[in-house]
Amino acid sequence: MVIEVKVTSVLQKLTGAKVVQGEGGNVSELLSDLDGRYPGFKNQIMQDGNLHRFVNIYLNDEDIRYLDQLNTRLKEGDSISILPALAGGS
Domain segments of the chain as ranges:
2-84
Q: Which pairing describes strands 2-7 and 79-84: parallel, antiparallel, or unpaired?
A: parallel
pLDDT at 25 over 70: yes
* Cβ atoms of residues 33 and 16 within 8 Å: no
CATH of domain 2-84: 3.10.20.30
Q: Taking the model in full, what pTM does it have?
A: 0.91
Q: What is the mean pLDDT of residues 37-57?
A: 94
Percent of the chain with pLDDT over 90: 86
Question: Is the per-residue pLDDT at 31 higher than 80?
Answer: yes
Is residue 41 within 8 A of residue 15, CB to CB? The reply is yes
Q: What is the pLDDT of residue 87?
A: 62
Residue 5: exposure state from Cβ atoms within 10 A (0-12, 13-18, ≥19)? buried
In 34-78, which ranges are E strands? 46-47, 50-51, 55-59, 62-63
